[in-house]
Amino acid sequence: MTTTDNTGTTAASAPTAPQLTRFPAGFLWGSATAAYQIEGAVREDGRTPSIWDTFSHTPGKVANGDTGDVAVDHYHRWRDDVRLMADLGLTSYRFSVAWPRVQPTGRGPAVQRGLDFYRGLVDELLAHGIKPMVTLYHWDLPQELESAGGWPERDTAYRFAEYAALVGEALGDRVESWVTLNEPWCSAFLGYGSGVHAPGRTDPTAALRAAHHLNLGHGLATSALRSILPARAGIGISLNPSVVRALTDAPADLDAKRRIDALANRVFTGPILRGAYPEDLIADTARVTDWSFVQDGDTASIHHPLDFLGLNYYTPAVVSGPRGEQDGPRLDGHGASDHSPWPGSDDVVFHHAPGELTAMNWPVDPTGLTDLLLDYTAQAPGVPLYVTENGAAYEDVVDEQGQVHDPDRIRYLHAHLGAIHEAIRQGADVRGYFLWSLLDNFEWAYGYGKRFGAVYVDYATQARIPKSSAAWYAQVARAGGLPAAE
């Protein structure tokens, strides 16, 4: 085909560029990790055990007896990993600080060698044009604090605020985005309720106490950071809200939805966004606790304005009322245990949503992400949102050419990024997306058996092999938009 320009010259026409679904200017294209899952070096430079060190070394707690002792050796390979991020076109990276690397006993002054690691990482990120987002707590409580009672004890919230101040003082001149807690629901209800996460306790009262003291820790840490950080810094929290759907419109199923929404979501959003715990949550859990651990002034300390809100999403929850004895494992997606992570609502039945399953046995349903973002746009008007985790585990293998092709993950990411764009189209102020995860790594109680990374890791050699999805995501990040689905 030829065209004639206004000078009369005939030339071949340029091929039509692929149609892109554009994201807003300045949208952050990121990836996320957690310290215990990637760093290794658990006994170096003054670091002492966290609850995950203790838990993973307890026989029977983690698949195959795996531990995070070495993980993917990021503590020694971080420069190479930052170059990988740059190759992927990332504009932001969310990582967590290991509390016991910075403050080994959970009390007292910081260990400068620990802070130096994060100073170097931040400087390297900035040198590559990658904006750091620091998460202060991604589940690695110093073991000494757990031995003193852990998150069910009020003192832990105060210790967390002191630790937050230490990190804020060290990195506040270079880091503008701060996340206090990652998924406090998991810390409280999987760590102290069902026991499938560290520290592995199975006490429903302790789980609710932990939830409150995590909320209080968020509030106290926010106050501490605001007194230290420059005015330009933003402080938020990353929640993992459940998109709860009733199996039917039957009254019992709708009530099950309400009860799980209270325990999964409103136990945090009540005090954080509205300054009070929901009355129905307190009534639902009355046989577990009287909530006397909530002291005067606590909810005011928790209820600080947020500069942004991080939301982590993987799959919706479909629930119904009691169906008699449950036949088989609880399908809530949170691991197998004889103990429920749902205090006061352990008779609620969970069902798989329709659709294909990932290697985690989680249904793929991107509509839940659109619903989530629109819901929180309504709940927290004026608060910018980030998708601080989203991704999928699949059975990734290295082929004869030394490559890893993961078309299922590409389809998953395309669908979920499309779901974010739809939420933006409907008015959600979503500022960025953080793919979970940058690297294959230690997947908590699943050990090294589940691979979420955009980059494949050979755990025997620590070689990094970017998967097909990494190349696809790099194209999306550089283009600032989604290509048409294949």
DSSP state of 444: G
Number of C-alpha atoms within 13 angstroms, CB side, residue 51? 25
DSSP state of 251: H
Which tokens in the block code for residue 444?
């908590």
Give CA–CA dist 113/236, Å, rounded.
27
Residue 273's SS3 state is helix
Nearest one of 346, 338, 363, 366 to 422, comparing CA atoms:
366
Compute and round to an integer the Cα radius of gyration of the chain: 23
Examine the residue annotation and report whether 422 is marked as an active-site residue of this protein: no
Residue 20's SS3 state is strand
- Classify residue 4 by burial, with Cβ atoms within 10 Å: 0-12, 13-18, 19+: exposed
State the amino acid at position 157 in one-letter form.
A
CA distances from 220 to 18, 216, 224, 225, 278 (A): 49, 6, 6, 9, 21
Peptide bond into 199 cis (omega under 30): yes
Residue 15's SS3 state is coil
- For 436, the enclosing helix (H) or strand (E) is strand 430-436
Examine the residue annotation and report whether 389 is marked as an active-site residue of this protein: yes
137 phi/psi in degrees, rounded to 5: -140, 110
Give CA–CA dist 461/84, Å, rounded.
17
Nearest one of 64, 39, 67 to 52, comparing CA atoms:
67
- Exactly one of 39, 146, 153, 389 is catalytic; which is it? 389
Beta strands in 303-375 (DSSP E): 309-312, 317-320, 349-351
DSSP state of 362: P
Which tokens in the block code for residue 442?
């230690």
Number of C-alpha atoms within 13 angstroms, CB side, residue 265? 19
- Exactly one of 183, 395, 422, 486 is catalytic; which is it? 183
DSSP state of 150: -
Residue 29's SS3 state is strand
What value, to the nearest 5°, has the Cα angle with vertex 127 and ends 122 and 128? 100
Active site (catalytic) residues:
183, 389
